[in-house]
Structure 1
């Protein structure tokens, strides 16, 4: 699952590939925005954790990973 996180006052977004389901990520984001958690904590496929303060979240985009095409053929 590809997750993009926008952080306030930061020109770049955080992009990670997570093994969690979309519902699981959405639940964690909702809890962080509701004030139940002070940090949004997500783990990526490589075992690294990304921690973002809940009050600095600008947006979170949850979607399927894009498959990168290789080659020069038009498909």
Structure 2
């Protein structure tokens, strides 16, 4: 799943591919906000993105459905 992180006063959003479920990511952000600490996510390759929790403007979750390949869904009937 891809998580896009909007950061206050930043023109671009951060994009992280993660194995975590949306509920787990939201719980982690909520805990970081309570603790007034840094919100961090680690991607599938082990890279970590960290943002001060109070600067997170939004999280946007997208499902990784893959790209369609080929010329469409051609049904073969026999």
With the shorter chain as reference, the TM-score category is: 0.7 to 0.9
1:3 match: secondary structure: strand
Contact 1:22 / 1:63 at 8 angstroms: preserved in 2? no
Aligned to 1:32: 32
Unaligned runs of 5+ in 1: none
Give the TM-score, by structure 1 length.
0.81
Cα deviation digits, residues 30-67 of structure 1 (max 9, x gap): 11233x24110110011001100112111011232242
Bigger Rg, structure 1 or 2: 2
Matches of 1:22 and 1:62, distance apart in 2: 7
Unaligned runs of 5+ in 2: none
**Runs of 4+ residues over 3 Å off in structure 1:** 71-75
> Is 2:59 the partner of 1:60?
yes
Give the TM-score, by structure 2 length.
0.79
